[in-house]
Structure 1
Amino acid sequence: MPKRILQGVVVSDKNEKTVVVRVERRFAHPLLKKTVRRSKRYQAHDESNQIKVGEQVSIQECAPISKSKRWTVVTA
C-alpha cells in the first residue's frame, strides 16, 4: 500500500530533529457550495535538522517514531 505524501509549510523548528508542518486542504462546503480552507499540524522527523520555518516541504507517512511523530520530511 503506498504511503501518503502531503505538502505544507514549516511553522516550527524548535524541537530537536522535529519540525511542525501545517498542511492546508480545500473542499466545497456541502450546503453552502463555498470553498472552505482547513489546516492541520503534523509533527515530522527531520534527521538532518536543516529545515527552517517558512519552507515548503513534503512529508511522508512512516512507522511511529515517537508518541506524536508518524511522518518524515521527504523534500525541502
Structure 2
Amino acid sequence: MKNEKLNRTQSGKVTSNKTSKTVTVLVDRRVKHPLYGKIISRSKKYHAHDETDACQIGDIVLIEECRPISKTKSWRVVKVLSQTALT
C-alpha cells in the first residue's frame, strides 16, 4: 500500500475569481458555543488554486489542502459541486 497522506477537504462558495488561476472560497461552518451551547456560524476565506480557471462567482466547490503554492495559497480546487446559472 502506498504511503498516501489524506489531505483535509472543505466545501465552500466562490466569492472572487478576479486573479489568474486563483479563486477565493468562503467556507462556513457551524459550531456550538463552548459556554452557552448555542449553534453559531463561523466563516473563513481561503485562496485556492484553480488551474483551468473554470470556477465562476457563486459556484460551490470542493477544495483540498496542498503544499504552499504562493504566499497565501495552500489549497486547490478538486471539483465544482454545483454551478451557478449564467444570466
Q: TM-score, normalised by structure 1?
A: 0.97
Q: Which has the higher contact order (CA 8 A, sep 6+)?
A: 1
Structure 2: distance between partners of 1:17 and 1:33: 40
Unaligned runs of 5+ in 1: none
Shift, 1:30, TM fit: 1.2
Q: How does 1:1-76 map to 2 (within 5 A)?
A: 1-76=5-80
CA RMSD of aligned residues (A): 0.6
- Which consecutive segments of 4 or more residues in structure 1 shift more than 6 A? none
Once the two structures are TM-superposed, the CA of residue 32 in structure 1 deviates from its matched residue by 1.3
Q: Which runs of 5+ in 2 are unaligned?
A: 81-87
Q: Percent same amino acid among aligned pairs? A: 49
How many residues in Structure 1 have an aligned counterpart in Structure 2?
A: 76
Q: Which has the larger radius of gyration?
A: 2
Structure 2 length-normalised TM = 0.85
